[in-house]
Amino acid sequence: MEQTNVKIQTAVGVPIEKVWTYWTSPEHIVKWNSASDDWHSPRAENDLREKGKFSYRMESKDGKEGFDFTGTYDEVVPFERIAYTLDDGRKVLTTFTEKEGKTEIVSVFEAENTFPVEMQKAGWQAILDRFKAYAESLG
pTM for this model (two decimals): 0.94
Q: How far apart are CA 21 and CA 12, in angstroms?
A: 13
Q: What pLDDT digit, counting tens, does each position of 63-103 carry?
A: 999 999 999 999 999 999 999 999 999 999 999 999 998 99
Query: How high is the pLDDT of residue 1?
Result: 58
Q: How many CB atoms lie within 10 A of CB 26?
A: 17
pLDDT confidence band for 3 (50 / 70 / 90): confident
Sign of the dihedral defined by the CA atoms of residues 134, 31, 60, 45, in that order: positive
Return d(Cα 130, Cα 87) in angstroms, integer.
24
What region, left, alpha or beta, does residue 100 occupy, with left being phi > 0 and alpha being psi -120 to 50 degrees? left
Other CB atoms within 10 A of residue 8 CB: 20
Mean pLDDT of the chain: 96
Per residue in 39-58, pLDDT (tens digit) is 999 999 999 999 999 999 99
Report the alpha-carbon distance of residue 55 to residue 33 in Å, rounded: 12
Q: Hey, is 131 helix, strand or coil?
A: helix
Cβ atoms of residues 110 and 5 within 8 Å = yes
